Structure 1
Amino acid sequence: MIDLAAVREDTPGAAERVFLDSAGSSLPPRPVLDEVISHLRREAEIGGYVAARERADDLAAGYEVFARLMGAEADEVAFTDSATRSWLAAFDAVPLGRGDRVLVTEVEYGGNAIPILHRAREAGFEVVTIPSDSRGQVDVDALTGLLDERVKLVSLVHAPTNGGLVNPVREVAKAAHDVGALVLLDACQSLGQLPVRADELDVDIISATGRKWLRGPRGTGVLVVRRSARDRLRPRLVDLHSGEWTGPDEIELRTDARVYELWECSIADRLGLIAAARYALDLGIDEIAAEVRARAERLRAGLRELPGVEVRDLGVERSGIVTFTVEGHEAGAVREHLARHDVVATSSHLSSTRIDMTRRGLEGVVRMSPHYFVSPEQVDRAVEVVAELA
């Protein structure tokens, strides 16, 4: 069990307000904050290059840290500046052309859908949506009916941005691999609140961010590329970190996942990201998942008691994302009402998950995402504030 008093002591902002937006950008704990600030100070004293060399061993150790966290090998881990950059670098490396198919789910995120559709216009491949089942998660039987040798990639969102469901990743991966398709898992909303292990989920690629449930700095991301998928990818966004200029017209690219990294990055933020991963590992991912689940279910139960409030979360297994609507009130207006009472939440709208929101007839939902540092009493306080509107 997580020591609530200790993690709240590490999170000063948790005492000042009811923070329910870890699905947006969470509150970093003190060790992360201290790591980032101390390195920035060191850069101001001796310069960025020298300061980075001082921390070379710590930076190198970060690959092992994330390998432990994500069920991978250290040479399968790369660091980027966001989940978007991780996802784009991997997607861009998948060879695609006319006659090929890319499958997406109904909860595909807009940040993924736009580059998929943009590239489809240029390369001529087909984009096909996998139906959801009656519980809202990807329909594995329907997926099986769509899979054949034309399918080169399945883009799978682990936990969508606009609701609490968790997709059945392992089942999707098995079906996709039976026809030789790659699986790119968007773990942006799951890493840090749920176990996300490449070895257990059996996906080929995982993209994720530092700023959300992992509680790292903004401007940080991670990418896992399994060895088994490495030779099937063609990385294109490369520079002098990704490869070496070996002759006047010759280059040699790295053979590990770091071929997807670029030379320039914020060393302070990367050290903070590694500190965030260590913090999560010290607490225990299973323990974190249990605490987040308990907070989310308490919140859902309280909201369901309110007249005019409808909880919109689907799925069999649910994440820490809680979404709802309040009759007669637009989602953005509810968010602002909460803010006036020191409850930090957000809203999710049609443009972020157009297929799913259109299917369910929703223009927007209020989104709350309580992490383990939120006390049960604060969860109840958030319900009370919503009740004032309802």
Structure 2
Amino acid sequence: MDLTLSEEQRMIRDMARDFAEKELAPRAAERDEKEEFPSEALRKMGELGLLGLMVPEEYGGSFVDTVSYCLALEEIARGCAATSLIMAVHCTTGCYPLVRFGTEEQKRRYLPKLASGEWLGGFALTEPGAGSDAAAVATTAVREGDSYILNGVKTFITSGNQARLLNVFATVDRSKGAKGITAFLVDTTRPGFQVDSIEKKMGMRASHTAQIVFQDYRLPVEDRLGEEGEGFKIAMVTLDAGRIGIAAQAVGIARAAFEAARRYALERVQFGQPIAQFQAIQWMLADMATGIEAARLLAWSAALKKDRGERHTKEAAMAKLFATEMASEVCDKALQIYGGYGYSRDYPVERYLRDARVTRIYEGTSEIMRLVIANQLLREV
């Protein structure tokens, strides 16, 4: 496997890095403190093509390979984890299902707006009673002539109060379980859609997470994504792609923490010398750097399999599991290197730790990732 980046991949990485360092990192702490949604930054990201990375050029996107997407997302996460979450959800769980499963008419109607950033996309699968057990979806979709009527509640929806287009999963027949789940393209400006509440979160505070309600929400049959009963498959395929992005995001957060800790270790003097001279600190930095590199390669490996059109469920789960667990460990070590100052909100490492923690939960918990990996391994025998 050739891991040499192409000129185009380096350009994408460098563009995202430059944007993150100039536009995101300087205000990341302030946005976190105020829980301020980064609307202006997202507008600029749309202009740069960062919100259309999963969208083919014929629909207004800047379509790139998945390794390039990982490179860009890692850099954005290094600058501001919350903004990278909005980007990841928009690209992989907002745009990708439409690219993969949408009709030509749906693609031409919605993708140009999503690719440009005019519209923000999202993914509404989780419910109060359907988290890891995604097949337990209780939101209903009842067919009435040429329309469907949606009723139900979705929770922990990233950008749920900001997105214009949501991929929503509802059941057309509860007795069929997963085979009754169907996907729909929901325009959030139509009657019957309501934002019930915004979560007050530990981390990723500039990314808004909403509980949303559908009350007799009517949409045309033309806005069904795929056929009836295909929703669960669409959700799982989408999450395979999304987990690669979350792995890259975790690498970016970990890099930010590692680089901050390394700088601090070289500057902080105790016992007459920089603490970087102490073996205890050196070993922590060595473990941190090794974990980051290994996680990045796992993400790239899954990305390459996806781009070759190969099944990548196991590889995506491995990448997400390892990278997100690694990110929490790296951020914790970074805070330890800072000592008491690391626990202060005057320094960034406590924010990195808070932001990293949720990556082990969304788009599949670490425990579910282990189940997915084990199931795939046993099928290979």
Higher relative contact order (CA 8 A, sep 6+): 1
Q: Same fold (TM over 0.5)?
A: no
Higher helix content, 1 or 2 = 2
